[in-house]
Amino acid sequence: MLYSIQAKILFFITAIFLVTTGSTIFFTGKDVKKSVFENETKNTENIKNIIRINVEGKYKNLLLDKWDAVLNKKNQIKNESIIIEKTVNALYNPDLKNTQTVFNWIKNLEISSEIFIADKSNQIIFSTSKQNLNSNLENITDVKSRSLSKSINSKNSSFEKFCVFSWQKNESKKIGYFSRFENIGWILGVTADISEIEKETDEKINQILDVLRDNFSKIKIAESGSVFLFNSKNDILIYPSNINNEDLSVGLLNNLKDNLTKDSYKKIIINDETYSFYSSRIKALDWYISFFVPEKELKKPSLSLVKSLSLLISGIFITGMIILIFAVKKFSNPLKKLTQNLETIPEKDLTSPELISGLKNEFPINRKDEVGLLTKAFVFMFEELQKNIKLLVKTTADKQRIESELNVARDIQLGLLPKIFPPFPDKEEFDIYAYLKPAKEVGGDLYDFFFTDKNKLCFVIGDVSDKGVPAALFMAITKTLIKTNAEIENSPASIMVRVNEVLSKDNPNSMFVTLIVGILDIETGKIKYANAGHNPPIIKRKNEIFYKKGISGPVAGAVEDMSYREMEIELQKDDMIFLYTDGVTEAMNKEKKLFSEERLLGLIESENHGNCAAYIEKVNQDISDFTKNEPQSDDITMLSIIYRGN
């Protein structure tokens, strides 16, 4: 304990503290309690910050209310537009030229929104408001002063869009939702008035000002301090109570606004009297709040304290500094030396084996006081740090290598699959599209399609039992085996037998794959296929949809010497066959509910598209809407073929 620096420092600091405290109490007494300058300043800052935060909070709530109101208007007119668009497409017959019938139906709609239709030349040919009839969209500007026709037809955006505009300069603002009847060439606009929303916003801002006026009148700072509010245009929004309005000149307000990137404190002379101004900017509304108080009122309580303490503290300070300098020099030199040695550490190689031995030679580790203990702690810390750095370097390198290899593996795996669509642009007998999204960097799903001769299209879809790198390797082997055997076998069942024999041999991890291998005769529409434990194909024929159930045999790769029977489907003109893996039907949302086969069947049944890509994109979008932000639990793969006929 005698060698402890703590004991030595405590001894000298205690001596200085006793002398200083005794002298202060003896000479000053109650004068210490009069020092309120700092407290008054802090109180002023606190009041100012509370008001600023309160106003900003109310304004944020105001903006949220405004946004909700505008969003409701947008949803309303968009939903109305969708209903009108669908109904008009159903009613309008270009052969009957029943334009007036369509317009009469729209005119009789009982909705608050204003509806108009413009032709291909942007001329308004129908409007529920007669004053806008025969206007041209090119002569109407939006809030950005752009022509309405250019705004709604801007590049890099879909035609369907919202736009804020006014029919004439001084009219109220409208928000419109615009879409196009592709078959007719008309532009449909459904608009709603949002001027009431703007008016309500202004009224709420005035309410905020009324509340602030009431609060400002109750605020008292020192004896004659006050508070006022002004905006960026130097308009006084709330006048102060204890200063003449004429004294708040434009120059003074600009002076308060200068350099207000953060709260500021300024001294300004008004009528030969110095005032302290505490100002802040309320950024959301571009307002400025400023408190002011005469400088003499803030300093008055502390004058007597300063007068009585000046001589005393000066003498104590000088005496204390002499003692403290002497003590610090004596007891801080070892720490200074330790600090100087530590400053050279960053220049050294922290992974070098000689580092620790060098530290032990340079650092005063043999001292018996806290410096010695601290030095030993530093040496131990650097020993542990050296170990951790080496481990971190190795771990980082391993992680980067693994991530790099996985990215390369993903590129290689996806590169094995056909990805150019349409793959056979010269073949008009069918349309084909496929999609694969791995759950991890690499996955075990696969699809493929290729011609075995000029009229025979072989198509494949499969799902490996595992995930990740093992599944990706198994998938690549399976895909290669199918394509190789398809060149020598014209029967899907025979191809499946050969693939199963190769996969089931030397399979220590007991991996397997569910498969459908099919061959489509593009002249007749007949499909021969074999199903090794995979989800049955979905067939869509006009408005009818059904599963083509039946299993040819067990999963491939599990057991040797298995046989597979061949099944057959005959597609009629415009029939579609839809294949998928269980990552589609087993996609899960946050409530742990599955996408399900019923939802998939219902979705395909309700859709009527002319190409395979549209069906797959619709299913993929519906899965995304269903799962939202939930992580993907399994690979998602789909393959669709529409037979066009010969």
Show me where the domains of the chain are located: 62-198, 344-416, 418-643
Q: What is the dihedral of CA 158, 163, 169, 174, to 10 degrees?
A: 140
pLDDT, residue 255, reads: 76
Of 208-222, 430-444, 565-579, 631-645, least confident by mean pLDDT is 208-222
Distance, CA of 299 to CA of 560 (rounded, Å)? 98
Q: What pLDDT band is residue 406 in, cutting at 50, 70 and 90?
A: low
Phi and psi at residue 565, to the nearest 5°: -95, 160
Residue 427 has a pLDDT of 92
Mean pLDDT of 427-439: 93
Q: 104-118, 141-155, 236-250, 403-417: which has the minimum mean pLDDT?
A: 403-417
The stretch 382-399 carries a mean pLDDT of 76
Give the model confidence (pLDDT) of 309-320 as tens digits: 666 766 776 777
Tell me whether the CATH fold assigned to 62-198 matches the one assigned to 418-643: no
Query: Exposed, middle or buried: residue 516 (CB in 10 Å: 0-12, 13-18, 19+)?
Result: buried
pLDDT tens digit sequence for 34-55: 555 666 677 777 777 787 787 7
- Mean pLDDT value across residues 144-172: 72
Q: What is the pLDDT of residue 355?
A: 66
Predicted confidence (pLDDT) at residue 399 exceeds the cutoff of 90 = no
User: What number is the average pLDDT over the span 29-33?
Assistant: 53
pLDDT for res 614: 94
Q: Which of 146-150, 248-252, 362-366 has the lowest mean pLDDT?
A: 362-366
- CA–chain centroid gap for 109, Å, is 40
Q: What percent of the chain has pLDDT over 70?
A: 78
Ranked by mean pLDDT, which of 31-40, 282-291, 327-336, 519-528 comes out on top? 519-528
3-state secondary structure 106-146: HHCCCCCCEEEEECCCCEEEEECCHHHCCCEHHHCEECCCC
**Domain 418-643 architecture:** 4-Layer Sandwich (3.60)
Lowest mean pLDDT among 54-58, 362-366, 602-606: 362-366
Confidence at 221, pLDDT banded by 50, 70, 90: confident
Token code pair at residue 138: 């090119």
How many of the other CB atoms lie within 10 Å of CB of 433?
20
User: Is the per-residue pLDDT at 459 higher than 90?
Assistant: yes
**pLDDT (average), residues 341-367:** 65
Give pLDDT, residue 54: 79
Residue 186 has pLDDT above 90, yes or no: no
pLDDT at 69: 83
Q: Is the pLDDT of residue 428 over 80?
A: yes
pLDDT at res. 302:
62
**Confidence category of residue 354, pLDDT binned at 50, 70, 90:** low
Q: Which comes out higher in pLDDT, residue 640 or 195? A: 640
Preceding amide of 508 cis, omega within 30: no
pTM: 0.44
Average pLDDT for 553-580 = 93
pLDDT at 572 over 90: yes
Collapsing DSSP to helix, strand or coil, 273 comes out as strand
More confident residue, 396 or 194: 194
Per-residue pLDDT for 56 more than 80? no
Average pLDDT (156-176) is 73
Q: What is the mean pLDDT of the chain?
A: 81
Distance of alpha carbon 202 from alpha carbon 364, whole angstroms: 72
pLDDT digits (tens, 9 = 90+) for 244-262: 766 777 777 777 777 665 5
Asked whether the beta carbons of 161 and 153 are under 8 A apart, the reply is no
pLDDT for 157 beyond 50: no
Identify the DSSP state of 556. Answer: B
Q: What is the pLDDT of residues 484-498, one digit of tens each?
A: 999 999 899 999 999
Distance CA 580, CA 602 (A): 15
Q: What is the CATH number of domain 62-198?
A: 3.30.450.20
Q: Rounded distance, CA 22 to CA 13, Å? A: 14
pLDDT grade, residue 624 (50/70/90)?
very high
Distant-in-sequence, close-in-space partners of 196: CB < 8 Å, separation ≥ 6 = none
Tokens of 266: 């300024």
Element (H, E) at 285: none
Range from 196-210, 297-311, 317-331, 495-509 that averages highest in pLDDT: 495-509
Q: What pLDDT was estimated at residue 134?
A: 82
As a whole number of angstroms, the distance between CA 484 and CA 574 comes to 31
